[in-house]
């Protein structure tokens, strides 16, 4: 996944800070867009952060199964989640009081 809002995006990652997010519940929203900036898909998923490193990224074990998902190693993109109930658009599943929310916009690779 890449955030395509800037040509010079740099992630923020700190090893000590990353240790503090292990075991936390993360809710992720991903908007997929084409090169015309039209939405081509939306996905949401959530689970427990099981690993986090600059090399590997942030690894989440999804709630309800053992599947793992990846998000980029950018701690600045984890926002503390206000307490409450979050309903996933695609499934209607309700997520209660996650620790963090992370949102991303993904564009297809540019072809030259």
The pLDDT of residue 110 is: 84
3-class DSSP state for residue 19? helix
Domain boundaries, the chain: 15-106
pLDDT value of position 7: 55
User: Taking the chain (112 residues) in consecutive chunks of 10 residues, what is each chunk's mean pLDDT?
Assistant: 53 94 98 95 96 96 94 96 95 96 93 74
DSSP one-letter string for 32-72: EE-TT--EEEEEEEEEEEEEEETTTEEEEEETTSS-EEEE-
pTM of the model as a whole: 0.87
Residue 3 has a pLDDT of 44
Question: What is the C-alpha to C-alpha distance for residues 105 and 7, in angstroms, rounded to an integer?
Answer: 14
Judged by DSSP in three states, 87 sits in: strand
- Phi first, then psi: give them for residue 76, nearest 5 degrees: -70, -15
């Amino acid at each position: 996944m890449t955030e395509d809002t800037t040509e010079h995006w740099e992630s923020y990652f700190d090893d000590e800070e990353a240790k503090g997010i292990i075991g936390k519940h993360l809710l992720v929203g991903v908007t997929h867009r084409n090169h015309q900036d039209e939405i081509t898909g939306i996905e949401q998923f959530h689970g427990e952060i099981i690993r986090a490193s600059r090399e590997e990224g942030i690894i989440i074990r999804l709630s309800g199964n053992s599947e793992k998902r990846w998000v980029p190693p950018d701690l600045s993109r984890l926002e503390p989640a206000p307490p409450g109930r979050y309903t996933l658009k695609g499934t209607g599943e309700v997520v209660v009081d996650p620790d963090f929310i992370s949102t991303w916009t993904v564009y297809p690779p540019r072809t030259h």
